[in-house]
Every structure is written in C-alpha cells, then in structure tokens.
Homo-oligomer: A and B are copies of this chain.
Amino acid sequence: MASEKEVSNGVEWRIKIADGSSERLVPESNPASRLLLGLKNFVVGLALKVWKFLQKAWDLGVDDPRKVIHCLKVGTALAVVSIFYYMRPLYKGFGENAIWAIMTVVVVFENCVGATLSKSLNRVCGTFLAGFLALGVHFVASQSGQRFEPIIVGASVFLLASAATFSRFIPSVKARFDYGAMIFILTFSLVSVSGYRENELFKMAHHRISTIIIGTSLCNIISMLICPIWAGQELYTLTTRNMDKLATSLDGCVEEYFKDSGSVVESNKECHKKFQGYKCVLISKAAEESMANFARWEPGHGPFNFRHPWQQYLKIGSALRSCAYCLEALNGCISSENQAPEYIKKHLNNSSLKVSSNSSSVIRELAVTIKTMKKSSNIHSLVGEMNFAAQELQNDLKSLPKLFNPPSMPEADTPENKKIEPISRTMVKIPLMEFVPLVTLASLLNEIATRIKGIVDAVEELENLAAFKHASNDKC
C-alpha cells in the first residue's frame, strides 16, 4: 500500500520483489519519470512565481490605489483615441498620421501631472523646432541641386543629431529638456529624410503637429481632471513625511537606548525595525529631485502657486539628510557592543532624552509649518529649548566624573587621611571606556541639534520665498 501511495504521487516508482519487499527504482533509470518530475517542478515553480508576482502586484495596488487609477486613466485615454480613430474624424483628417496621436498618448502619459505636462511641452516644442529646421534645411538642399541635396540632408542630420545628443549630457538640459532633445532628433531625422521622398512635407508637418497636440491635450486633460497626482503635492508630502520619520526615529532610537538595558540586544533589534524611518530620508534624494523637476511645470494647485519655490524643498531635503547621516552613525554607535553601564546611563538619561525629544519637537514643528503653510509662532522658543537641553546635556557630561565617588565606593565619607586611597584608585581606574558610548551619544546628539538648525534655516527660507502667513495665534 505504501508503495502504491508513493506511486500515486507520481514522483517515485517501486518494484515488488518476490520476497514481498519493494525496491525503489532510482530516478535516473527512468527518463520519462524524470522528465515528468522536472516538468511538474517547473510548472509548480512557475505557478508559485506567478502567484507571488500577482500577490505583490495586488499589494502594490491596495497600498496605493492611485496607481490603479492612473492605469485606468491611461487605458481610458488610449480607448478614447482609439474610438476617435475608429469613428473616422481623426483618420479622415490626418490619414496615416493619426497613429501619432496614439503614440503621443502612450509616450507622454505619466503618473503625475508635472511629468505629463513636461513631456507634452517637450514633445510639442521639440517637434515644432525640429520641423521648422528640417523644412529650412530641406529648402536649402532643394535649391542646391540634385547632387548636393543628399549630402546636405545627411550632413545636417549628422550634425544636429550629434549636437542634440550632446546637449542631453548637460545637467540643466537633461533635467528639463531631455525628452525634448530626443524628440527634436527624431522629428528632424524623419522630416528631413522622408522630405526627400514626398513633396507633401508641409501637409505632413501640419498633420504631425496637429495629432501630437490632440494627443497631448487629451493626456493633460485626463491627467489633471481625473484624480490628478501633482508632483508638487507629492514632493511636499514626501518632505513632511520624511520630517516626521526623522523625528520619530530620533526619539525612538534614543528612548530605546535608555529604556531597558537588560534586553539591549532585543530592544535594539526592535528599535532597528521600528525606527528605521530615517533610512527613507537617506534614500529619497533622487525621488525629490525628479519631483522638483516635474513640479516646476505644474500650474497652481491646492495651496501652491505656479511659481512655488520647489527647489527650496531640495535644500530642506538635503538638510534633513545631513541630520539622518548623524542619526545613522548614532544608531551604529548605540548598537555597538561597547555598552555603558547602567548607573552612567541613568546619569545622562534625562538630559539625553530631553535633547532628543526637543530636537524632534523642532523637526515636527517645522513639519507642521510646512503642512499648514503658516509661519510657526513658537519655533524660536522650541529651538531655544533644544539649545538649552543640549547645554544641559553638556553640563551633565561635565559632572559625570563626580559619579565615581559615591556609587562604586560608599565609604566616601571616611576621615580625611583615608580618602587618599579611594580617590587615587578612581584616578587610575577611571573607567573612561564606560563613558565612551555615552559621550559619543551626547556628542552626536549635539551635532544633530546643530544640523537641525540647518533645517530651521532652510524652512525659514521657504517661508519667505513662498510668503507663508503668520499663524493666527501669533503675537508678533
């Protein structure tokens, strides 16, 4: 029976021998079953992979439904253009060039409004510019006779394509006009080469531009009207969220360090999971830059004007990162093996926690300032408190050496002539190594407080640039 079961698994074959026992057939002896096994494993593995992939995709959709909405928007835009094409008005008017409307929709429709707008403008301007230039070159070439025509056209394609490609390496061009430069090369080549064939150049250029304008308009209308995702808003949310994360991490890490040294390892692991928000700050540079680039194309939306100083958010982001670097180093020092003994930790417990909580209060207040777009009335007092706490921590550090009389040797009150012994012992044995983690912690907390002032400055600059109003409860 057992052998039958195994057979029914389809994986293993056994043969019954005369004495009633069964012998396993080694898989190598049966290529068919090996193939079957391999195939089954392959199918199961593939199914599992597909299932995991679908699960991941589902989680992604549940996590951010706006992504799903974006996909439906793209589908809608394409369906509309297709129907338009099908209903013949586009086809009648523009003939084969109508496919450019579809192409435009596919290429230009991006997740956020700013990206779509930037690509649209790049596409339209690139096409226009290249189209005009190509027509000019075509005119010059056609005037210079049969022999020179192809040479002029070829040389102009080579030169302009090289120049435009080079311009894409220049950072300022790359950030804003990368796509436009590509479209410029594309259109110039297409028009000047195909212009050599057909004489309906003007008509073609007109159709091309019209279809592109139809496509980009459709994209921008759908992108802005149906659940728009503004790059500016995203940048703003990312910045404030990063501030909150940094504040939480700062609070959390220092708290965890002082909470329970009995289970240092466990609590640190916990801390690592719970308070790694600052790592998001460390890696968000690229996202911030691309969003700031897109945001500058966007019209005013929500509380933001057209010329909202988006670049300033990059400065704030960079100030946040410089804090996060210190926090990362702090985290490393905290979780290192060299742990300070409990009685020293207790001495600095309150002041360290005060510095971290005051620092995170400043960051949170700055986040609120940005969120409400109102000048904070008490940011200066909070900064003052933070500085005061930092000073207090320094004082507590200064008084640390005093610790080494009472706790370790309760006989401190013995008569004068006996005092020599414990003190000189303290001198020699002064456990500086036990200070080290705490001194480092204090020093890094101090550095973090200093860098937070950099965030304060950056946010204040934003306040001025974007003309934030005073909060209503402000007495200034």
Contacts and interface: CB of A to CB of B under 8 A. Distances in A.
A409 B193 CA distance: 90
Of the listed residues A56, A336, A401, the one surrounded by the most CB atoms of chain B closer than 10 A to its CB is A401
A136 interface: no
A469 interface: no
A86 B444 CA distance: 68
State the number of copies, please: 2
A424 B401 CA distance: 11
A153 to B, nearest CB: 7
A427 to B, nearest CB: 6
B103 A60 contact: no
B75 A159 contact: yes
Contact of A440 (B163, B282, B338, B443): B443
A19 interface: no
A431 to B, nearest CB: 8
Contacts of A61: 166
Contacts of A85: 193
A170 B329 contact: no
Contacts of A336: 446-447, 450
A25 interface: no
A48 interface: no
A189 B170 CA distance: 35
A204 B272 CA distance: 58
Interface string A81-105: 1110110000100001001001100
A436 B396 CA distance: 13
A60 B329 contact: no
A106 to B, nearest CB: 4
A99 B194 contact: yes
A283 interface: yes
Contact of A161 (B56, B78, B192, B328): B78
Given A85-B193, A328-B329, 6 more contacts: A56-B170, A60-B169, A78-B189, A79-B161, A82-B154, A86-B153
